[in-house]
Amino acid sequence: MADVARRAGVSTATVSRTLSGIRAVDPDLQSRVLSAADALGYRVNLVGRALRQRRSSTVGLIVPDFENPFFSSLAQHLTKAFAAPGIDLLVFSADSSIDRELRGVHSFIGRQVDALVIIPVDEVESAASISLAASSVATIQLDRRVPGTGAHSVGVSNRRGMRLVHEHVHSAVDLARQPVAFVGAMPTSSSGHERLDGFRRWFGADEPSLLGSFDAAWGQEAATRLIADGWTSGTIVTAADVIAIGLMSRLQAAGFSVPGDFRVIGFDGIGMVRLASPTLTTVRQPVESMSQAIRELVESGGQTANGEPVSKRIKPQLVLGASSPAAG
């Protein structure tokens, strides 16, 4: 630091303020310090800074996997949300494993992150990981949640999302010609079971439902099953865009028209949706609002007025596409 100060012709205090980013520095002095530091190859010791400031300016994010593009999109939006306050987002994939999820929690706690954002792998089995995280660092569950762990939770209202789908279907679809069916995921995550519950509440428990996993391959398999069962037309409500896209591709490959024969409706509204052909009608999660809510929790240190964990459910939006247009 002294070498940088001599080269820039400033005090070591000015170098410290510039490189720490804690206090504003005159732009000319800042430019001189950064140029000198770059010329000398000086790099801030982030671990040492964290020990001094008791903040690491890092947030950990644990996702269930990277195969679902929705999780990648969430990571991208969170990265943007944390850019302004100068917080780095470190991402770890649990690869759909409870053991790896727990390893990720231990790893981030050991690195003294300021907060931990987790999309739980399983609504029940992830409880130990989430509880450990919440007892050690400000912890926010994103999209999915495990109740009773002491962690904050930010996500969309899945049941409200299915109500939006119900309103669209009953205003735009001739159900006698295109009867409804649900293609979702096994209810091992809160998003899986809440979307299934929402479908059954609004459409009825007797309507057909096929349950698999949150991926395109399952959407393709579900389409094959529907065709084998004699379906030649229908309104297929899915639990995720990635399922919807796989399903549409298999239906179209089999010679069916979307939306002429089959209407298809997704859920999420980011990530893979822009690749859909035709464009996908979907329930969009307002990830910008979700990311902002997480950023506010992180900047507050996870502290709330009453000391209780926050559970924030944000209203989703129905976005109409060509896969299930409005009534003509």
Q: Go through the domains of the chain in sequence order and give each one's CATH number.
A: 2-44 (1.10.260.40), 54-155+287-313 (3.40.50.2300), 158-286 (3.40.50.2300)
Q: What is the pLDDT of residue 284?
A: 95
Question: Which tens digit of pLDDT belongs to each residue from 105-115?
Answer: 999 998 889 89
Asked if 242 and 215 touch (Cβ cutoff 8 Å), the reply is: yes
Model pTM score = 0.79
Q: What is the pLDDT of residue 126?
A: 94
Asked if 284 and 319 touch (Cβ cutoff 8 Å), the reply is: yes
Contacts 24+ apart (CB under 8 A), 168-175: 168/265, 168/281, 168/318, 168/320, 168/324, 168/326, 169/203, 169/235, 169/237, 169/265, 169/324, 171/326, 171/327, 172/324, 172/325, 172/326, 172/327, 173/235, 173/263, 173/324, 173/327, 175/235
Which residues have C-beta within 8 Å of that of residue 70, sequence separation ≥ 6? 240, 241, 242, 268, 270, 271, 272
Give the pLDDT of the chain (328 residues) as one tens digit per residue: 788 888 888 888 787 777 765 566 777 878 888 888 878 777 655 444 443 444 558 899 999 988 888 888 888 889 988 887 788 899 999 999 999 999 999 999 988 898 999 999 999 999 999 999 999 899 999 999 998 899 999 999 999 999 999 999 999 999 999 999 999 999 999 999 999 999 999 999 999 999 999 999 999 999 999 999 999 999 999 999 999 999 999 999 999 999 999 999 999 987 677 778 899 999 999 988 999 999 888 888 766 667 788 899 999 999 999 999 998 6
